[in-house]
């Protein structure tokens, strides 16, 4: 009987153990079936709040950064900016225009280039090469949702390129030239003791502007940068003037005028250059966090139309009586006075880079550098013929070689370069 009871307990214990294991397995299967989603129901993905705050189109509203929105380009669709410029244009060459000599220099040697003691006060070097202030306005926008195409444009101008010079109150001041009758250096007196008193001033003005309109097409892009091909149109202009003005008072009658006459002598040389051409190149854009970089290199080919205007006059104001004005000054005479024009093929490359840092949502402060080169440009100082036939200096009449002469528009190459800083707005 005891043996029978032991066998029974053994069987019951074994059954309870197997039953418990079966119950655990069944409950696990039921739990798995409850966790399984219903057919057709989306499974919610894990949310990475840190990643969501640093990527995607909402990034700038979360942490203020400009990042990729999944397209082939930055998160913004358009941009507009304004910059203050500090640019310089390569100086123009001018011949010696004003000289002086020590007191006691003989009258026929006063201010003559090459004579002992003669010093060039103005000219014989490049002028108008200083940095000038200016402004540039630019903008652009993508044309498609994939940001493969974009259009952009800019306008820029410089101002403050004027220069002024006035001769000092030295005993002997002159304007040098080459005598067309003798082929030797000579001069016209501006100030000489007991003969002539006065001064000579040189003024220069300069105005530069440009605009371009371009189409961009993406070539390749990665997560935070892209390369584009750029093609479009450029227009540029450069207007310059150079004036030499004398204000003289006769102290005796040795110059052919009575004493105490006021004589005003004026020479002016003005040039105007307008370029129109096509351009093509490459552009690179990079955006990373709050930083962005925009760089480009362009090559332009087109035509430059240059116009040269030369004028001169001498006005005599007597101590009593009416003033009279005659054509011709010193370097501008009847033999070269006039308006002339020419057209030439020009080559205009440009390299530029702009770095930006976001200071507010959709607003960045920028700094950049630009270099441009322009071939075939007419400049005032290069139109001056320093050989003068003194017989035609007013009130004289021409006798001998027709000098100064104009033998065609002279051109040279210039560069424009400088830095910029401003604000850029993106939308």
Note the pLDDT of residue 3: 40
Note the pLDDT of residue 22: 39
Task: Read off the pLDDT of each residue in 264-277 and give the average, rounded to a whole number.
Answer: 98
For the chain, the average pLDDT equals 86
**Integer CA distances (angstroms), 200 to 38, 110, 267, 327, in order:** 98, 15, 11, 19
Domains delineated in the chain: 57-426 (2.40.128.90)
Task: Read off the pLDDT of each residue in 338-342 and give the average, rounded to a whole number.
Answer: 97
Q: Rounded CA gap, 73 and 140, in Å?
A: 13
Q: What is the pLDDT of residues 357-405, one digit of tens each?
A: 999 999 999 999 999 999 999 999 999 999 999 999 999 999 999 999 9
Q: Of 360, 255, 246, nearest to 314 (Cα)?
A: 246
Vertex 354 angle, CA 350 and 355, to 5°: 160
Q: What is the pLDDT of residues 166-203, one digit of tens each?
A: 999 999 999 999 999 999 999 999 999 999 999 999 99
Q: Rounded CA gap, 356 and 363, in Å?
A: 9
Q: Of 347, 360, 179, 176, nearest to 275 (Cα)?
A: 347
Q: Are 373 and 348 in contact (CB under 8 A)?
A: yes
Q: Which residue has the higher pLDDT, 46 or 24?
A: 46
Note the pLDDT of residue 224: 87
Note the pLDDT of residue 71: 59
Q: What is the pLDDT of residues 149-162, one digit of tens each?
A: 999 999 999 997 88
Q: Are 359 and 326 in contact (CB under 8 A)?
A: no
Whether the pLDDT of residue 15 is over 60: the answer is: no
Q: What is the pTM of this model?
A: 0.81
């Amino acid at each position: 009987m005891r043996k029978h009871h032991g066998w029974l307990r053994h069987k019951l214990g074994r059954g309870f153990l197997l039953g418990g294991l079966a119950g655990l397995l069944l409950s696990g299967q039921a739990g798995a079936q409850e966790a399984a989603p219903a057919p057709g129901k989306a499974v919610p993905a894990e949310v990475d709040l840190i990643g969501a705050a640093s990527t995607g189109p909402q990034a700038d509203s979360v942490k203020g950064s400009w990042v990729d929105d999944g397209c082939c380009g930055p998160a913004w669709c358009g941009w507009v900016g304004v910059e203050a410029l500090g640019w310089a244009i390569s100086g123009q060459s001018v011949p010696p225009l004003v000289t002086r000599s020590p007191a006691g220099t003989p009258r026929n040697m006063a201010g003559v280039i090459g004579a002992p003691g003669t010093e060039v006060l103005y000219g014989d070097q490049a002028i108008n090469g200083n940095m000038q202030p200016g402004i540039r306005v630019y903008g652009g926008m993508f044309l498609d949702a994939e940001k493969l195409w974009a259009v952009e444009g800019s306008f820029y101008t410089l101002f403050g390129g004027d220069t002024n010079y006035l001769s000092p109150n030295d005993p002997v001041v002159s304007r040098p030239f080459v005598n067309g009758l003798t082929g030797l250096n000579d001069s016209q007196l501006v100030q000489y003791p007991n003969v002539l008193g006065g001064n000579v001033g040189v003024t220069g003005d300069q105005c530069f502007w440009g605009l371009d309109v371009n189409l961009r097409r993406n070539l390749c892009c990665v997560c935070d940068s892209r390369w584009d091909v750029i093609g479009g149109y450029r227009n540029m202009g450069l207007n310059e003037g150079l004036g030499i003005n004398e204000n003289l008072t006769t102290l005796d009658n040795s110059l052919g005028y009575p004493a105490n006459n006021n004589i005003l002598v004026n020479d002016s040389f003005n040039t105007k250059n307008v370029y129109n051409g096509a351009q093509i190149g490459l552009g690179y854009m990079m955006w990373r966090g709050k930083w962005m970089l925009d760089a480009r290199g362009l090559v332009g080919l087109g035509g430059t139309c240059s116009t040269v205007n030369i004028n001169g006059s001498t006005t005599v104001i007597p101590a009593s009586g009416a003033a009279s004005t005659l054509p011709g000054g010193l370097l501008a005479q009847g033999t070269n006075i006039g308006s002339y024009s020419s057209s030439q093929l020009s080559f205009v490359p440009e390299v530029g880079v702009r770095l930006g840092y976001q200071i507010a949502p959709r607003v960045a402060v920028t700094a950049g550098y630009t270099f441009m080169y322009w071939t075939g440009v007419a400049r005032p100082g290069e139109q001056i013929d320093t050989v003068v036939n003194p017989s035609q200096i007013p009130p004289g009449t021409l006798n001998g070689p027709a000098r100064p002469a104009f033998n065609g528009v002279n051109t040279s190459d210039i560069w424009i370069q400088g830095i910029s800083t401003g604000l850029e707005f993106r939308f």
